[in-house]
Structure formats: C-alpha cells, structure tokens
Structure 1
Amino acid sequence: MNRDPVWWGGPVRTTLLGGKRIVVRLTVVVATVLAPLLLLAAPAAALEHGAGADLERVDSYVAQAMEDRDVPGAALVVVRDGRIVHAKGYGRADGEGRPVTAQTPFRIGSVTKSFTALAVMQLVEDGTVELEAPVRRYLPWFTLADEEAAGRITVSHLLHHTSGIPGTAGGAALFDPARTLEDTVRALAEVAPDRPVGESFEYANANYAVLGLLLEEVSAQSYADYIREHVLDPLQMRHSFATATSEGRGELAVGHQWFFGVPVAVPDRYVPGYVSSGFLSASAEDLGHWLITHMEGGRYDGVSVLSPEGIETLHAPGPGASVPGIPGVEHTGGGYAMGWFTGEMHGVPAVWHGGGDLRNSAMLVMAEDGWGMALLVNSGDYLTGSEPTAHIASGVVRLLDGKEPVPLGRPSIGYTYRVLDLVLAALTLPVLAAAVRLPRWYRGLRRRLLTGNPGRRTTLTVLRVAVELLLPVAALALGPELALAPALESELSASWRNAWAAVPDLVLWLSAVAGVLLAVGLVRGVLLARELARRRRPAPERPPATDSR
C-alpha cells in the first residue's frame, strides 16, 4: 500500500479506497462544497478585522473626499484586536509636493488633551496627585477673579471641563509664542468663572493648560520631556513630540489655510503656553499605538503605561460633564470623560476626540465594536469649523462600522467660500467703481455746485465724503470683530493678531477695501474743500476800460 500523503493541489499518488479516481472525485466534491463557503466567509472576516475590501472602500472614500474638498494631505490608521490593520498617507505634506506617509507627523490640536489626561492619571497611580484634591495643593498661587471659586476647583474638575472657567479664557495666549504655561495660568487671575464649580460642562483650553503646569510642578520636568519619557518612548511613538520642532522625529506636515477658497501652505505655529492643550504632534502610525494602548487596558507591545482601571477612569464621563452639540460632529448622549468625549458620533457608539489649530486637524475614534481609527489632515478652517476633516471623518467612521456615509447637513468649505467670495465681490465693486470714477466726478463738481439747488447739492456731497471717511475708519476699528464674526463660536479674543491668524484672507480684504475707500474719501474731501474755497473767494476786480481815442 502506498502511504504517501495527499497534498492539496499536488499529484494524487495513493490508491487508498480503490485508487486515485475515488480520491480525485472526493477532492472535487470537497472543493466544490467548501469554495463557496470560503468565499462567503472572506468578506465577513475582512469586516471583523477591519481589513480587506472594506478598507479599500475607505481608501477610495478618503481619496475622493480629499479631491472634492481640495484637501492637500491626510493620513489614516485603523486598529483592531490590538494591532494596526491599515495605515496610509494621502496627498502632499507641504507646498513642494512631499508625499504624506503613515510616519509623517502632524499637529494634532486638542487630541493632545488625551495625552495630558493620561499623564496626570499616571501621577495619580503613583500617589503623587489626587483627583479630588484642590488644584492649590499643587499650585498654591493658582487663582481666578473669584478666589473662593478658585479654591474649590479640583484636578478632576479640570480634567472634565467642569471647573467653571469660561471657554473664552486665555484666548490671548493662543497666538503668543512668548507665553509659557505659567504665564497662561497666572493670567487666569483676571478671569471670572461663568458657572458654579463642578456644576456643568464648558470646554476650555485653559483647564488643560493648568493641568500641564501641574504636571510640570509635580514631576519636576517640562511637559514635553515628561510626555516623551513616560508616554511616547514606552509606546514606541517615534514620530511624535510636544516641542516646537521634531528634534529628529520626522519632518512635520505643513499646515494649510484657505485663502478665498484655495488652500495655501502657511508657516507652522507653536504656542508653549498651550502645549498641554493642543500642541503635541504625532504620526498616524504612532496614533495607532496610542489607540491600541487605550483599547488594550493601557498596554502596547507588552509595555504598560497605565493600569486597566486607570484607562477605564479616563473613559468614564464625569458628573455634570454632559456635552451639548458639537459643530461638525453628529453627537448624542454621553459626555466628557478625561481628554475624551463619549457617546454616539455619526451614529456609532464610541469614545473619541477631535482637534485643530486653524492649519491642521485630527480625529481619533474608538468604537464600541472594537475598532479604532485616527485621521490627520494638514489643513484647517475657521469659517466652517474644519469642515473638510469633519466630512472625511464622518464617512470613515460609518464605513468602518459597516454603515453608509451620510451627508452632515452642513455646507462644504467650497460652497461656503463661493458664497463668501460673491458677497465680498459685491461689496468690493462699488468701492473700486468710486475710485475709478473719481476724475470724472471732479470734472463735474463745479457744475453741480453752481446749478440747480447749490445748497442741497453741497450738503449731499459733504455727506458722501463723510460716509467715505467714517465707514472705513469704523471698519478698521471694528476689523477683528468683523473678521472673526463668521465663526459659529470661538474662544479667540477680538484682536488684529488673532484675526490675522484665523482668517488672513478676510483681514487682507477688509484692510484693502477700507484703505481704498478711505483714500477715495480723503481725495474727494480735498477736492471738495478746494472747490468750496474757490467759490467763497471774491472775484478779482477788473480794471476800468480806458478810451484809446
């Protein structure tokens, strides 16, 4: 008897059960039965592990959405079952065409808060910080305009955004590269709380600025050094940093802002005074490690940075931290935990957080179903609340959860700018027309002042000059408020510096139009004054005629 084994796809050499004909027939029957089952099982397995055809569709969706929204570059990572199942870069990382990869670091904005929260929880587990202890135990000089309220603020209140510190607090520090964390926190002495301590939620970057300074005081390290030593390095996040420059950890993606609807690469912005609130940088691949850490009880690749109980605490909403509507996110239920939102987003139960710095934006999601994703985009938009990122993220979240993408019901950035550009053009044309027609107006000025009703015509001309002088002066005086007004909500204080950082195109337009109108008004006023002076001047006496005879 031949005892050679039967190999699938190889020669059949046994005569068992009557010879090779029987074996061949059995092989055909088994293959015929199993093949359809394997084909049916493949999509289910792909969906279960977040890989395969479903991710191909995600890739197609991201690429198409980027093209539709004119997004320069993006990166995506998807995790499942404690591993990265997909990581990819799309588009360009800068104005020179450098391609985005999964290792390209991006500014991640307020996603930084999840790092700050975990770092504070590490100190809690070390026994050096207590969640319910007052902040003054660690920063004795900490105060607000209401000293009694400041004394009742705990570490937990800061983490949950229930301290009563208003969301507008510290807005001046958002664009001041000279301010430190301590400068930002000390400036809160002039800020009055806008609600009772611990009673309700109000998102405020200042809360996490205080936590960053607390972390520095307790650990005797800078925020960037602590995060690198105790979080980034243990988790093998080799393309992440909390410093102004990457210090050898990869070339940062260049952020973009929209100028009248066109994304333009702009210089990087790093604010030390808010580093713990929104100025950490990370790559998509590194954020995959970060998501796995949170989804696997504080561990990545055998290294633990926090206990499972600590992770659970970070993800649990605090009392009074129920969250109202969030621009750009369809969010229901849940609340604010510690550096994370909870509840359904775009119809998917999840723990998540987004971030942006007007030049870049990010979204991290950990779904109840067991998958996680991080999306990074190197463009930001003040007028529509980072609409391109919100649009892309909503579709990716739903696709990964086995749902179809649905419109957010908000205008796209392209539509918003088309409308805005039309409005600006309609306001610009009369100003330009007034400048172009100024010589013609002057040529007819004397005739208008001397015919018909001279008094009435003079009054109307003076009023026109007054409007052309006062209107641009008022526009320039109110410029920051006018430029920042289109946003739905903002913590930016109205200043020219903040307006320039947020909407440089509107600031340029407002300054140019106001300047032209002011120049026209000044020229018209000078010409009118000269003509009126000429009218008041007595006509020279003509010498008497002499008889030549």
Structure 2
Amino acid sequence: MNLRAKYSFLCKNILLLPMIKRLKTTVFTCLTLAFACIQTYAQIPEQFKPIDQFIQQNMDKNHIPGLSIAIVNKDQVIFSKGYGKDGENKAIISSTPFAIASLSKAFTAMAVMQLVEAGKINLDAPVKQYIPSFKMADARADKITVRQFLNQTSGLSDVVYPELSFKQQPASTKNTIDNLKDVELDSNPGETFRYHNPNYHIMAHLVEIVSQEKFADYLQKHIFTPLQMTHTSSHHSTLEFQRKVPQGNIFVFGQAVKTNEPNWFIEGSAGLVSTTSDLAKWLRLYLNKGEYQGQRLLSEKGIETMFSHPANSSYGLGWFVDPQKNVSHSGVFWTYQAEQMILAKEGYGIVILFNSGINAFQDYHSFMLGVSNILTNQAAETSFMNDSMYELLIATFIIITLILTVFSFRNMKMWVIKHRAKSSWVIISKNIVRLLPLVLLALAPTLLTLISHRVLSWERIFLMAPSVIIWLGIVAFCNLMVVVSRSIRLRSRDNF
C-alpha cells in the first residue's frame, strides 16, 4: 500500500467513520427527543393545550424549576403533567413527591369531621372538654370550641405565640399544648380570623386523644388507604419530611437555588408529603360529596360543613371559600409551594405542586388563576411584571447604590468643607436620613408583623426575599460607612 492509499485508509477508517457514527447517533437522539416532544404534545387533548402552553410560558418567565399539575372531574383525571426537574435532577412526573404544606389542614379537618360523624366530637363543644390538659393564661381559652380552632378564630395568633420564630420547635402536638400554658389570647374566641398554624396542631392532638391513634396512623387508616393514596405520608417536622422529598428551592436574584427547609414543627398544619396523582383522588372525593369509588369517607352534609364559614371570614374547615362557592387553599414553605382549588359550578378540581418556595416576587397563585380561567373559558391573563423584571430592578438598585457611595467618598473633602460651618443639628439630621435604611433593616421583622400579623425569624425573612435583604444590607452598610467617615473628618478638621 503506497503512502496516498495509507492516508486514505487512515482518514476513512480511523477518523471519518467514528465521526460519522457519532453524528448519526446525535442526529438520531435529537430526532427521537423531538418526536417524543411532538408525540407528548399531540397526546394532550385539544382543550388542554392552552393550559400546557400557559404553564410552560409562565414557568419560563418566572424561572420556576419544576411543578406537577393534575385536573380532575368527579369521574377521572382529565389532565396530568409534570414539568422541569426535581432536586435530584429527575424529570417530574405525577408520582414525584412534594411537600404540600398547608394543604394538609383540610386533611386534619376531614379527620375531625369523621370523628364528629362518629358521634365522638361536637364541633361546638369547648376543646377543653376533650383535652383537659389544654390550659392558657387566659380564662377565655376554656371556651374555645373545636369549630373555632378549625375556622382559625380561636383568638390565638402569631403575635401572642410566634411559633415561626422559635429556635426550639415543639417535638409533638402535646408539646404545643404545654407551650400555651403561659400564653394569653390575642382576641376573643370567635371574634377575629387569624391564620395560625398551632390551631391545627391542637386539632391533630384532638384526633389523637379522641381516636386513641397516632395522628399519622389515623390519617393512613381512615383517609389515605380508602383513597388509595399510596404516595402520601404525614410528618412531625420539616426535618423529618426532607428524608422523603428532594431539596426544594429558594430564589436568589431570580435564580433557583437548592436549599434545605428551615426546621419547623408542622404536624396537623402542614406535615403531609404527597403527589398530584394522590391529590387527584383527594379532590375527586370532594367532587363526589364525600365518596370515592364506592367508599364513603364523609357524608354529603359533612362536606357542606367543611365548606361553611363564619360571617367574619371566608375560612371554612381547612378551606377558603369564595363568593361563587369555589374552595381553595395554598400551601407555603420556603422551598415548596402548593395550590389546590375546586370549581364548584364547573365540577373541576385542580392541584399544582411546585418545588420552589415563597418569594417576594413570585406569584404562584397566578398559575392557578390562569388554569381556572382557561377551564371556565376566560383569558389566562399574565402580569406584565414578572420575577425577572423585579430582580433586575433590585440588581440595578444595588449598582446605583455602589456608584453613589463611590461618589460620596470621592467628594468627601468638598462635603466636609461645605458643612464645616453649618450647625450640628443640620449635620445630624442628614446623618439620620442616611441611617434610615439601617433602621429599616433592623425593624424588618417588626414591620412584617404589623403588616401581616405573622412573626418571622430573620432566617425565614432572608429566604423569602434574599435579593431585597442583600440590597438593604448593602445600602445600610454603605450609608453607615459614609456617615462614620464624614463624622471622623469633620471632627479632625474641628480639632485642627
């Protein structure tokens, strides 16, 4: 074989053939994926394609890492799909587990109502009748009824019992009862709606006392098993459920960042881990007035009771009720979010589970609102402002803050000369204005409590709005440095 023939053989067999094979493999893979996507889209019934498009567009705009949705009528699941990846980088499907947070309250309410229908609990009897150990440093507490706890009108609130800020969380529902012994009520029982998770810790303990079963065991036996909810479980704390679910996400400057959920006692109020495939069965139970595949878990009247609310609020027993009799509830964690809704007139149930949590700039409810609008033949409106735009604004504010700080230091000498002859109160007042961001940062927990009536720890505030807190921290620090530097220079010139 001559040199030219050897070279031709080398190119063909050693270089070109492997390249051609790799190219074929790549093209085949791309075509397969493309065909799979087209086939998946084609499999979606025509009436649900707008929902699919809406969800994908809204996810992309807001950088949502993953979600799962199921839509049901009373007979079957009519739409179900997973989007994105979970914390272990696996594709999300209908059996992917999510922490469902406060969607758990409706399960607790259902358990109480089952015991009501069994003749073991009277909704309008004082809780103390069933839990003699329930005592508070307030005589009014002896009259709080079971219904008032379920309606969140017990008189308890985060202001008097700030459970979200406790470093030492309760270890059991009994611990919650014990911790309330030195607490006074925020308002008269039945008078004011205050959303407060320990109301449902107490209800979980009530279920345990009356049924003589552990709360998790009761749910498994009387709700999960009859509904064939094989991927659903109840947990005491966020530390416990994190063994069952992949890490969720917070948002830092619009980007999803995996992190662990802060420790929090959640039994009865927010302790369930579930899937959209399981929660589809849960919603069908309600659409069938308390019955699922021939098994009755609650009477039709019992379901009506759960959807009844007092005159002073729209909160029933574990559900919010709107004027059109639609019922819904959100579930909020720092790394997970959940939404469920039943459209009463149209006969649809919707559940959407997210693997990212509460954030100042994320509007998870817009997903539910858009989907429900499409189902009721309305436009799925989306806000012009989205997560990316808000985060871009915060980043811009940070850059402007840093630029202004540099200018302040560059012009420091001129400022000192200009203010040397001015009265001290003028200088002090200007310094006070510069220190306002520091004061605002220090008072953030208090201000949030005044606005929301919820008490949050600094950790939870940061996880809820990292970019805002970072910006405020930079503004406060820069202004403090300017004030200190100006004060030192003014004093030096005065001494000179």
**TM-score, normalisation: structure 1:** 0.71
Moved more, 59-68 or 465-474: 465-474
Deviations 1:100-132 (A, max 9, x none): 111111122221110110111122233332211
Aligned residue runs from structure 1 range 54-453, under 5 A: 54-94=47-87, 97-147=89-139, 149-166=140-157, 168-173=159-164, 176=167, 178-180=169-171, 181-189=173-181, 191-199=183-191, 201-243=193-235, 244=237, 252-272=245-265, 274-315=266-307, 317-323=308-314, 336-344=315-323, 349-368=325-344, 369-384=346-361, 386-387=362-363, 389-407=364-382, 411-434=385-408, 437=410, 441=412
Post-superposition offset of 1:227: 2.3
Separation in structure 1 between the aligned mates of residue 193 and residue 455 of structure 2, nearest angstrom: 21
Aligned residue runs from structure 1 range 507-522, under 5 A: 507-522=469-484
Contact 2:230 2:278 in 1 (8 A): yes
Post-superposition offset of 1:390: 1.1
Post-superposition offset of 1:268: 2.5
* Matched residue, 1:8: none
* Matched residue, 1:13: none
Q: Which amino acid aligns with 1:55?
A: F
Contact 1:110 1:355 in 2 (8 A): yes
Separation in structure 2 between the aligned mates of residue 306 and residue 104 of structure 1, nearest angstrom: 28
User: Counterpart of 2:104 in 1: which secondary structure?
Assistant: helix
Task: Give the total of aligned pairs.
Answer: 450
Separation in structure 2 between the aligned mates of residue 342 and residue 192 of structure 1, nearest angstrom: 29
Indicate how the Cα distance of structure 1 residues 86 and 489 shifts in structure 2: closer, same or farther if over 3 A, else same.
farther
Post-superposition offset of 1:263: 2.9
Separation in structure 2 between the aligned mates of residue 454 and residue 286 of structure 1, nearest angstrom: 69
Deviations 1:186-231 (A, max 9, x none): 4445554454433454433332222122223333444333323332
Separation in structure 2 between the aligned mates of residue 76 and residue 275 of structure 1, nearest angstrom: 25
Indicate how the Cα distance of structure 1 residues 116 and 428 shifts in structure 2: closer, same or farther if over 3 A, else same.
farther
Contact 1:78 1:373 in 2 (8 A): yes
Q: Which amino acid aligns with 1:362?
A: A
User: Counterpart of 1:354 in 2: which secondary structure?
Assistant: strand
Indicate how the Cα distance of structure 1 residues 355 and 491 shifts in structure 2: closer, same or farther if over 3 A, else same.
farther
Indicate how the Cα distance of structure 1 residues 493 and 351 shifts in structure 2: closer, same or farther if over 3 A, else same.
closer
Separation in structure 2 between the aligned mates of residue 214 and residue 411 of structure 1, nearest angstrom: 45
Contact 1:201 1:320 in 2 (8 A): no
Larger radius of gyration: 1
Contact 1:356 1:362 in 2 (8 A): yes
Separation in structure 2 between the aligned mates of residue 427 and residue 249 of structure 1, nearest angstrom: 39
Moved more, 121-130 or 159-168: 159-168
2:464 to 487, 496, 502: 502
Separation in structure 1 between the aligned mates of residue 167 and residue 205 of structure 2, nearest angstrom: 17
Separation in structure 1 between the aligned mates of residue 225 and residue 64 of structure 2, nearest angstrom: 31
User: Counterpart of 1:275 in 2: which secondary structure?
Assistant: coil
User: Counterpart of 1:277 in 2: which secondary structure?
Assistant: coil
Indicate how the Cα distance of structure 1 residues 429 and 454 shifts in structure 2: closer, same or farther if over 3 A, else same.
closer
Separation in structure 1 between the aligned mates of residue 261 and residue 419 of structure 2, nearest angstrom: 59
2:445 to 474, 480, 483: 480
Indicate how the Cα distance of structure 1 residues 185 and 454 shifts in structure 2: closer, same or farther if over 3 A, else same.
closer
Indicate how the Cα distance of structure 1 residues 169 and 207 shifts in structure 2: closer, same or farther if over 3 A, else same.
farther
Separation in structure 2 between the aligned mates of residue 112 and residue 166 of structure 1, nearest angstrom: 19
User: Counterpart of 2:322 in 1: which secondary structure?
Assistant: strand
Separation in structure 1 between the aligned mates of residue 167 and residue 271 of structure 2, nearest angstrom: 13
Indicate how the Cα distance of structure 1 residues 375 and 298 shifts in structure 2: closer, same or farther if over 3 A, else same.
same
Indicate how the Cα distance of structure 1 residues 505 and 223 shifts in structure 2: closer, same or farther if over 3 A, else same.
farther
Give unmatched runs, 5+ long, in structure 1: 1-50, 324-335, 536-549
Indicate how the Cα distance of structure 1 residues 505 and 171 shifts in structure 2: closer, same or farther if over 3 A, else same.
farther
Separation in structure 2 between the aligned mates of residue 222 and residue 501 of structure 1, nearest angstrom: 33
Post-superposition offset of 1:155: 0.3
Contact 1:257 1:266 in 2 (8 A): yes
Deviations 1:467-492 (A, max 9, x none): 5995576355324346x48xx95343
User: Which fold has the larger relative contact order, with Cα–Cα distance below 8 Å and residues 6 or more apart in sequence?
Assistant: 2
Separation in structure 1 between the aligned mates of residue 60 and residue 168 of structure 2, nearest angstrom: 34
Indicate how the Cα distance of structure 1 residues 59 and 510 shifts in structure 2: closer, same or farther if over 3 A, else same.
same
Post-superposition offset of 1:456: 0.9
Post-superposition offset of 1:165: 2.9
Separation in structure 2 between the aligned mates of residue 506 and residue 70 of structure 1, nearest angstrom: 18
Indicate how the Cα distance of structure 1 residues 175 and 107 shifts in structure 2: closer, same or farther if over 3 A, else same.
farther
Contact 2:73 2:287 in 1 (8 A): no
Contact 2:405 2:478 in 1 (8 A): yes
Deviations 1:431-486 (A, max 9, x none): 34445x3xx746x79xx66xxx995179699759965995576355324346x48x
Post-superposition offset of 1:340: 1.4
Post-superposition offset of 1:75: 0.5
Separation in structure 2 between the aligned mates of residue 234 and residue 490 of structure 1, nearest angstrom: 38
**TM-score, normalisation: structure 2:** 0.78
